C-alpha cells in the first residue's frame, strides 16, 4: 500500500461500473477490515450487513434517498453499519471471553482489569440511552474510516453514505428484533466511466487552516 498516493487520490465515488464484481478473496478482505476495525476499549458494539446480491439490495432501496439508489444497485457490495440500541451484559461478556480465547490475558487479574476498565469507559458514556447510542455510533464511524482507507489500499473505490431513512433501513433488515439500529452505509466496487468525481482534482483546506503542530 502506497499510503501517500492513496490519501492524495482516493475520493467518494459517485457512479459505479455494475459489470465489475469482487472476487471471493476481495470480499473476505473487506470482511476482515470490518471485523478488525478499532473501537474504544475493544468494545466492538456493532454488526455489519454485507449486501452483494440483487435481492438483498432491492430490500433496502425503499430506505434510500434518490441520489444514492444507483450507487446501491451498481456497486459490487454495500455495507450497512449497525450498532446496538443498548450495549448488553451478554455482549460485554462475549468480548471478554473472546479476548481470553485469543490469549490476551496472562493472569486472571489481567482479565479482571480489562473487564473493569472497559465497563468504566462504557459507563462514562452511559448517562442516557441517547448518549450511549451516540458513543456506539462513533465506533461505527471509526470502522467506516478503516474500511474506506483499506478499500483504497485494495485498489477499490468506495462511497460513505448517510442518505437513508433509518427507520426504513432497520425495518428492511429486521434490526429491531436484533437490538440493532443502522448508522451509516458504504458502497464498494469500481467506478464507472460516468463518474464525474473521478476526473476532478482533490480539494482540501490548506494544512495551516486545519492543523496546529505544537
Which of the following is catalytic: 14, 55, 66, 131?
14
Q: Is 168 a catalytic residue?
A: no
Which of the following is catalytic: 5, 112, 131, 162?
162
Q: Is the dihedral of CA 55, 26, 160, 87 positive or negative?
A: positive
Which of the following is catalytic: 71, 89, 112, 168?
71
Residue with cell 433509518: 166
Indicate the DSSP class of residue 88.
-
**Distance, CA of 39 to CA of 63 (rounded, Å):** 27
Neighbours of 144 (CB within 10 A): 21
Q: Is 111 a catalytic residue?
A: no
Buried b (16+ CB within 10 A) or exposed e, 76-102: bbbbbbbbbbebeeebbeebbeebeee
Q: Is 71 a catalytic residue?
A: yes
β strands within 17-161, DSSP E: 46-51, 77-84, 157-161
Contact 122, 43 (CB under 8 A): yes
Buried b (16+ CB within 10 A) or exposed e, 173-185: bebeeebbbbbbb
**Distance, CA of 214 to CA of 202 (rounded, Å):** 27
Q: Catalytic positions, please? A: 14, 71, 162
Amino acid at each position: 500500500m502506497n499510503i501517500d498516493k492513496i490519501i492524495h487520490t482516493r475520493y467518494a465515488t459517485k457512479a459505479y461500473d455494475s459489470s465489475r464484481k469482487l472476487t471471493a478473496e476481495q470480499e473476505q478482505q473487506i470482511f476482515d477490515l470490518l471485523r478488525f476495525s478499532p473501537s474504544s476499549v475493544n468494545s466492538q458494539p456493532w454488526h455489519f450487513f454485507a449486501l452483494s446480491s440483487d435481492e438483498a439490495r432491492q430490500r433496502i432501496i425503499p430506505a434510500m434517498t434518490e441520489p444514492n439508489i444507483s450507487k446501491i444497485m451498481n456497486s459490487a457490495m454495500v455495507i450497512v453499519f449497525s450498532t446496538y440500541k443498548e450495549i448488553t451484559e451478554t455482549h460485554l461478556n462475549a468480548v471478554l471471553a473472546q479476548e481470553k480465547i485469543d490469549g490476551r490475558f496472562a493472569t486472571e487479574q489481567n482479565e479482571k482489569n480489562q473487564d473493569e476498565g472497559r465497563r468504566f469507559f462504557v459507563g462514562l458514556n452511559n448517562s442516557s440511552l441517547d448518549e450511549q447510542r451516540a458513543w456506539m455510533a462513533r465506533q461505527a464511524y471509526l470502522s467506516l474510516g478503516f474500511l474506506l482507507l483499506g478499500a483504497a489500499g485494495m485498489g477499490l473505490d468506495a462511497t460513505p453514505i448517510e442518505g437513508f431513512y433509518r427507520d426504513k433501513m432497520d425495518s428492511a433488515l429486521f434490526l429491531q428484533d436484533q437490538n440493532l439500529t443502522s448508522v451509516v452505509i458504504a458502497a464498494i466496487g469500481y467506478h464507472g466511466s460516468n463518474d464525474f468525481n473521478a476526473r476532478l482534482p482533490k480539494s482540501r483546506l490548506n494544512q495551516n487552516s486545519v492543523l496546529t503542530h505544537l
